[in-house]
Structure 1
Amino acid sequence: MDPRLQDALDRWDCRDPQALAGDAGARQYFRVRHPHLGTALVVLYPPAPEPGRADDAYYDFRALQAYLDPVIRVATIIQHHDESRTMLMEDLGDETLERRLMVHPEEEKHWVNIVALQLASWVGLLTEGAPSRAFFMLRSFDEAKLQFEWDYCRTNFFQDFLQKDPPRWLDRLMEDIHRGLEPRARFLAHRDFHVRNLMVQGDRLVTLDFQDARKGAATYDLASILFDGYWDWSEEARAILVGRVREELGWSETLLWEELNLSALQRNFKALGTFGHQLVHKKKAYFAPAIPRTLRHIIGHFQRIHHGEGALQAENWLRLAERRLMER
């Protein structure tokens, strides 16, 4: 047993740790028996980053949790121990929004309205109320960050998973997209807003995994969940998501989609990098179905902007990806 886990069990009088699947990050999660709460989660964070690096997921999570909690529902930190970088957190159960919708598809309209309200809060109240010097408002999706994410996709999805390089025209297109998105990074974005990071608790949604929040385009989180790698929304649900964000921003439909097309391509290629890394290097089959779904989203993006070569290439990547998945 990890000495930090044993230390946490002893410190908080917990027992019977059961490892959970966790997320794509380096955090480790354990469901434990608690003497008063029934169950809780012990979260082990990775070692502190090198001195001088601004981002630290452990402290970022705690600071953002305090900022978000009055506006949207987030998990409660019950105890924390800074020296060992461990937390005892509220156990929200196992019902993600993805699982809820799979079992109760008839509830889609109910849940999508709640999701839409959350999206409006991120681009509205949470952006407007954020202190200008808050760490999450001092980091943004600038060209360097966007290029890092594209390079991650090139390596982990194209080279390691598909075993081929992307075409040169795609590199040039992504550079254009990055230049178009950087000056739009004025809104607080969750940065990983999808149905596996939303937990169902009664009739409410609880938001997880927000410690990487930063300034981004107004449509970043909308693109993330509208074109989710884990879920296909109905057309009615998509209209609700788009309409609520557009209403909050006061934008025309043309203006919204002009930006949303850029955000969608950037976000979905970034997600493919994550999925490729999880499959190839972490051996996590849990992410496999997300690759074909995300590629189908990308085909749609290219078709929407009338990029015929992109749509044809994405169809080829989809066929190749399906072969790679069968080989695995």
Structure 2
Amino acid sequence: MNSALFDLFSRALAAAKLTGRLDQITPLVPEASTRRYYRLHLSDKTTRVAVNEDTATASTNMPNVIAVQRFLHERGVAVPEIYFADPAAGIMLQQDLGDLSLNQALKENSDKADLLYQEAILHMLSWQRLADDGHCPAFRLSFDIEKLMFEFEFFLTHTLLGYYHAKVTDTELSEIRAAFTKIAEQLAAYPNKVFTHRDYHSRNIIVYDGSAPHHKQYIIDFQDARMGLMQYDLCSLLCDAYAPLSVERRATLIDFAFEQGKDIHRQTRAEFDHYWQLSAFQRTVKAMGTFGRQAALGRDDFAGYLKPAWQMLKEITAQSSELRSCSERLENLAANASQNVLS
């Protein structure tokens, strides 16, 4: 057991005035971030989750987490309780929701997939209806052109060039960036933006408090929340390489979201579908940037998510010749450098 971590977490538990002393620390499976999560087993048989983050980033990130958590919790959105936070030390203690993510629940209850996804969509719509209180930092951030292009560039740097080592000419890169910029400009210009989680996929949803229909879905990892299109979180959920959906099931769930969220998106079906395609393309490329980055760092599990992501790009762009042309170009460049793109 790491004695430095044991001492750090013990002091945090004492500062939080939680009952029970620290008996054991269990590392939790790391995701694609610099934060590390641990389950703390206490002498009174309860558990807590500790978050440990580099102090250089924690000084900015943790206050955002606390502010967003408070905003959502006060408005009835299911988020874990925070017991203690010390950004200067890079430490936070929060409620332990267990290990049953939506991703795992879907594997264990495949016959209830539609109900689980519908619940997740309704939960999403609940925070997309929230208004600015003047304090939550998410309302001061947005999916602007700079942010969207940063995510596109992340894919080019870490996946297309970094992971696949694709041979791309300067002219080709300029043309790809021009296509990306056109997409980013359309998404950034749309005026009706709502509160978005920004990373609303099946691993960031925890199914807690029993099994269906008595469970409750909680959201985690919401520190990067910002304003964006209603479709963005929906794309994160339904274009999720961790839990790929059939084209038919995805279409049915998109229909459900369109009908349930009419008061939020206020779009015709043609407008909704247009911005869905743009958002789904951008979100999937963004996710592929993360997968390539982690794979290049030796996380082979993330390399495995690139194949379903490429397949989703095919499905997403099937109805748009412009997006399909861009997707095929990216895939061909990757395939020319690696024979293991979709096979």
Instruction: Give the TM-score normalised by the residue count of structure 1.
Output: 0.88
What are structure 2's unaligned runs of at least 5 residues? 14-20
5 Å-filtered alignment, 1:254-269, equals: 254-269=270-285
Compared CA separation, residues 323 and 99, structure 1 to 2 (3 A): farther
1:137 corresponds to which letter in structure 2?
A: F
5 Å-filtered alignment, 1:143-154, equals: 143-154=145-156
1:284 corresponds to which letter in structure 2?
A: R
Counterparts of 1:84 and 1:306, CA distance in 2:
51
Counterparts of 1:299 and 1:2, CA distance in 2:
49
Counterparts of 1:2 and 1:184, CA distance in 2:
51
Equivalent in the alignment of 1:174: 180
Q: 1:190 aligns with which of 197, 202, 206?
A: 197
Counterpart contact for 2:335–2:341, Cα < 8 Å: no
Q: 1:64 aligns with which of 43, 63, 68?
A: 68
Compared CA separation, residues 310 and 183, structure 1 to 2 (3 A): closer
Matched, 1:21 2:29: yes
Compared CA separation, residues 284 and 311, structure 1 to 2 (3 A): closer
Equivalent in the alignment of 1:119: 124
The alignment partner of 1:61 has SS state of helix
Counterparts of 1:294 and 1:189, CA distance in 2:
21
* Shift of residue 318, structure 1, vs aligned partner: 7.2
Counterpart contact for 1:20–1:31, Cα < 8 Å: yes
Instruction: Give the TM-score normalised by the residue count of structure 2.
Output: 0.85
The alignment partner of 1:228 has SS state of coil
Q: 2:226 aligns with which of 214, 217, 234?
A: 214
1:162 corresponds to which letter in structure 2?
A: Y
Counterparts of 1:199 and 1:154, CA distance in 2:
31
Counterparts of 1:303 and 1:114, CA distance in 2:
28
Instruction: Determine what percentage of the aligned residue pairs are the same residue.
Output: 23
What are structure 1's unaligned runs of at least 5 residues? none
* Shift of residue 319, structure 1, vs aligned partner: 5.0
* Shift of residue 181, structure 1, vs aligned partner: 1.2
Counterparts of 1:237 and 1:322, CA distance in 2:
34
Counterpart contact for 1:184–1:218, Cα < 8 Å: no
Counterparts of 1:134 and 1:90, CA distance in 2:
21
Counterparts of 1:159 and 1:223, CA distance in 2:
25
5 Å-filtered alignment, 1:166-315, equals: 167-184=173-190, 186-201=193-208, 202=210, 203-233=215-245, 234=249, 235-246=251-262, 248-281=264-297, 283-307=298-322, 308-313=324-329, 315=331
The alignment partner of 2:316 has SS state of helix
Counterpart contact for 1:22–1:29, Cα < 8 Å: yes
* Shift of residue 268, structure 1, vs aligned partner: 0.9
1:200 corresponds to which letter in structure 2?
A: V
TM-align CA RMSD: 2.5
Counterpart contact for 1:299–1:314, Cα < 8 Å: no
Compared CA separation, residues 286 and 2, structure 1 to 2 (3 A): farther
5 Å-filtered alignment, 1:87-102, equals: 87-102=92-107
Moved over 4 A (4+): 317-322
The alignment partner of 1:88 has SS state of strand
Counterpart contact for 1:9–1:15, Cα < 8 Å: no
Equivalent in the alignment of 2:46: 38
Compared CA separation, residues 301 and 225, structure 1 to 2 (3 A): same
